[in-house]
């Protein structure tokens, strides 16, 4: 998700988005562990989206 889209969200929406990203990251890690992950670049994308969301949350608090 682009930083512009993240900036337009409220703190409550950002917290929910962060929770969803964490769940997605967990699922991807489990797939990697069992050898079922077909697109390993997804892990990197989710990790960076989490960092972007945390950055914006820190600025809004």
pTM higher than the cut 0.85: yes
DSSP assignment of 5-32, as one string? Answer: HHHTS-HHHHHHHHHHHHHHHHHHHHHH
pLDDT for position 52? 95
How much is the average pLDDT of 4-14? 92
pLDDT for position 51? 96
pLDDT for position 50? 97
Whether the per-residue pLDDT at 1 is higher than 80: the answer is: no
Tokens of 1: 């998700």
Give pLDDT tens digits for 28-50.
Answer: 999 999 999 999 999 999 999 99
């Amino acid at each position: 998700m682009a930083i512009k889209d993240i900036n337009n969200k409220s703190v409550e929406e950002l917290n929910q988005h962060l929770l969803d990203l964490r769940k997605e990251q967990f699922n991807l890690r489990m797939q990697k562990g069992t050898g079922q992950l077909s697109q390993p670049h997804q892990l990197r994308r989710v990790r960076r989206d989490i960092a972007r969301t945390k950055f914006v949350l820190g600025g809004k608090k």
